[in-house]
Structure 1
Amino acid sequence: MKKMIAYCGLNCEKCDAYLATINDDQKLREKTAKLWAQLNDVPILPEHINCQGCRADGIKTVFCDNICDIRQCALKKGVVTCGDCSDLERCSTAGKILENDPSALENLKGQGKICKGE
């Protein structure tokens, strides 16, 4: 797979959970669990940090698999990424990701998706 772009446009290949999984890096799992627990104010343990990509077959973090509103919405709508969704411009959930990480929109465009209004 050339690039693993998540439904929201984030690049899974740059995600610490993905990197810890493919490199079996326990120290990165511990660091990521600690950071994510602090950022989300929830208990996250190193054993929770295992993911092979949002859209890829295989294991995912609990958040990505079950809690991520963007992933659940994309699966329900049957779109490949948010770039395929006609509601992208009005979507407050995806908008938060795109606002915090502008590269996500570029990733969506790079997947050959054309965002409405672009």
Structure 2
Amino acid sequence: MRNMIAYCGLDCGKCDAYLATINDDHVLREKTAKRWAELNNAPILPEHINCEGCRVDGIKTVFCDSLCGIRQCALKKDVMTCGDCPDMESCQTVGEIISNCPEALGNLKG
């Protein structure tokens, strides 16, 4: 579904937080919390791993809801995704996402 493409172009439908939420998979929540805590050097617990996608109504992780600069920028600019933003080509923030996940650019242009 097109609404599962995040503002940055990542596919929320492939995100472990989303998968754990829709499948009520506590084992995946635990694994994801541990991995994200290590990657972010932050106290992320399994109960924090609940998200239904950043562009749809429903629950989101704390990061996706209020800490993600890309999401906040897209909401402020009232764009569906960064692909609709005239500044996307020069944006360093979304550029980092695209360099780490080239599939995101295809999602933004698709």
- Corresponding residue of 2:64: 64
Look up the SS of the partner of 2:37 in the other structure: helix
SS across alignment from 1:86: coil
CA distance in 2, matches of 1:108, 1:96: 14
Q: CA RMSD in A?
A: 0.9
Aligned to 2:108: 108
Tell whether the 8 Å contact from 1:3 to 1:11 is kept in structure 2 after alignment. no
Asked if the contact 2:3–2:55 (Cα under 8 Å) also holds between the matched residues in 1, the reply is no
Query: Does the CA-based 8 Å contact 2:52-2:58 persist in structure 1?
Result: yes
2:3/2:56 contact within 8 Å kept: no
Runs of 4+ in 1 over 6 A off after TM superposition: none
- Residue 114 of structure 1 is matched in structure 2 by none
Aligned to 1:26: 26
What residue ranges of structure 2 are gaps of 5+ in the alignment?
none
- In the alignment, which residue of structure 2 is the partner of 1:80? 80
Change in Cα spacing, 1:2 to 1:80, as seen in structure 2 (3 Å) is closer
Normalised by the size of structure 2, how large is the TM-score? 0.97
Separation of aligned partners in 1, 2:2 and 2:75: 22
The CA distance in 2 between the partners of 1:86 and 1:3, in whole Å, is 20
Report the count of equivalent residues: 110
